[in-house]
Chains A and B, each alone.
Chain A
Amino acid sequence: MTDPATVGLSQDAMTRLAELQPGRPGSIFTSDLTVNEFLLLRQAGFRPLGLVLGTSVYHVGLQVGRWSKNQEMDVLSQAMYHARELAMTRMEAEADVLGADGIVAVRLAVELKEWGSDIAEFLAVGTAVKAEADGNWRNNRNQPFTSDLSGQDFWTLLQTGYAPLGMVMGTCVYHVAHRSLGNVLSNIGQNTELPQFTQALYDARELAMERMQREAESLAAEGIVGVQLSQHNHAWGGHTTEFFAVGTAVRPIRPDHVVPAPQLVLGLER
């Protein structure tokens, strides 16, 4: 026999569905969240205001790396940074208009479409949120905070006594030198490290990470969580690579960071 409580639950839901009426404008919102994220966000005391988005179609300039030199391609680095910044700024402007305290679950994407070579769409999408209770959630530039954390991560972060300040990023497009003929010949048939390549990868990552860190410092953050470090070749061939670091800068909202011990569960699913 079905539990009467669950029957009641379905009855309540169906009663509400039967009473649907067109609403006043302004009382509705859309969000780019999964159901799980949406419910957790509500539970954490935030209300989604709407899906916000910024886009920029950008022509990435031309720069040719020296064949045998490890070097940063600064024109390309600037393009990748500037285009993302344009998209993010437009997204933030939309959130500002909605009177948001912040933007959660931000996704950054670079999409190559039928525009022709060297042109890509840079996209930033997220959900603008507002806290139910009063409090200052904006960052030191009086902008809504941004965060690429999922709803689940956002909830957990708040439980541990931290709040997001802003998404911080750093990028570096690097040209890795080709090996000289002599080097190729001398290493034939040998197991050996190629120090020039190793060095190039270290340098490029370091530059990207350092730029990201500098952004966090300018927001007066205590640290950065959820850093993702990725490499993209885009359309530049094998030796020119973008190293992209992105994460969420956080600040403490209370002195102690004690969290209740979680329940241990043994999942039944695979």
Chain B
Amino acid sequence: MSFTSNLTVAEHHAIRSVGFAPVGQVLGSCVYSIGWTGNWNCGIGYGWGGTGGGWTGRLAGGSGGFAGGGTPAGGIAGGTGGIGWGGMARTVEATGLRDSLYAARGAAMERMQTEAARVGGDGVVAVRLTVAPFEGAGLEFRAIGTAVRADGDVHAKRPFTSDLSGQEFGQLIAAGWVPAALLLGIAVMVRHDDWRAQPGSWTWGNQEVVGYTDLTARARAGARGRLAADTARYGEGATTVVRDMSLRVSRRSCAAGNDAHDHVAEAMVVGTAIVPFRHRRGNAPVPPLPVLRLSGRTP
């Protein structure tokens, strides 16, 4: 049977050399509408102790459930920032928006995984996650990759997902590690702008903006914490190799009015969880061989 893939020739070779073969390109897509449903709760003007949120999402078509990215349980461990004070504005988590982002990406990955299982794949390599505006109906979340199948007669119950290139996949298998799942850590934090976030208005000097530091530190800590919690589901010795870490910050009008503003920080960490396995058939991992390239220039 012929296969389709977006692998380069070198990637194809690397995958073949560790006993896997490509079976086909697989895709999962989810068009998701993220809506504004009422107040934006930064904890100011709507009482104390708000947990953020107000955004809810809904699936626009499709029925695929959500499993791929893992559902984080509970909130982030508060007080990790190490910066404490009493009183006014504080950083709160927008759990509604966070859950929507998880659900949309999770649905796309789940569908891709289902497609991979249907073509007989044991896993998906080189997964790319993209988000693009969908004309008139929110955002399209898409996951695309190449399904691979083991040459032997042992097969995975459910295909693994990974954003590794073919070469990286080959390297890992040869060294005794197998990818388990592509993981996402997402956190969305909101903070009301108060005097701690407005240094220009009271000083011209060098000054750390503690309010914003707290916001970014908590957003990043939340995303990392969730990634670590998801990695734990893959058992003893599991590790995640992170591919990308990003933070988006935007400024919005506060629902409390009076020309007040909130800052929203959306942190995301993407990586692949890998687990060690033992070679039983005398395929002991080989140590690296230092080489000096004779072709081209080193980058």
Contact = CB atoms under 8 A, between A and B. Distances in A.
A13 interface: yes
Contacts of A38: 239, 241
Interface stretch (B36-44, B48-56, B131-139, B282-290): B282-290
Contacts of A30: 224, 227-228, 231, 239-240, 242, 271
Given A5-B281, A27-B236, A119 B242 contact: no
Interface in A140-182: 155-156, 159
B283 A13 contact: no
B274 to A, nearest CB: 8
Contacts of B157: 18
B195 to A, nearest CB: 13
B239 A267 contact: no
Contacts of B156: 14, 17-18
Contacts of A58: 206-209
B5 interface: no
B58 interface: no
A6 B17 contact: yes
A86 B288 CA distance: 37
A2 B17 CA distance: 9
A79 interface: yes
Interface stretch (A110-118, A207-215, A235-243): A110-118
A29 B275 CA distance: 11
B212 A17 contact: no
Contacts of B241: 31, 33-35, 38
Interface residues of A, number: 79
Nearest to A33: B241
A82 B213 CA distance: 14
Interface residues of B, number: 85
A38 to B, nearest CB: 5
B171 A39 contact: yes
A269 B287 CA distance: 22
A20 interface: yes
Contacts of A57: 208-209, 211-213, 215-216
Given A14-B122, A58-B209, A260-B290, A9 B235 contact: no
28 contacts: A2-B151, A7-B151, A7-B152, A8-B283, A9-B283, A11-B19, A11-B152, A12-B278, A13-B178, A13-B277, A16-B275, A16-B278, A17-B275, A21-B235, A21-B236, A23-B237, A28-B238, A31-B239, A35-B172, A48-B239, A59-B200, A59-B203, A60-B206, A75-B205, A118-B200, A259-B290, A263-B292, A266-B293
Interface of B: 10, 17-20, 82, 122, 150-157, 160, 164, 168, 171-175, 177-178, 180, 199-200, 203-209, 211-213, 215-217, 220-221, 224, 227-228, 231-242, 245, 247, 249-251, 263, 269, 271, 275-283, 287-296
Given A22-B233, A23-B233, A28-B240, 14 more contacts: A12-B278, A15-B277, A25-B232, A27-B238, A28-B231, A30-B271, A34-B168, A51-B242, A53-B221, A58-B207, A58-B209, A59-B199, A264-B294, A265-B293
> 3 smallest A-B Cβ distances: which pairs?
A10-B19, A16-B277, A11-B152
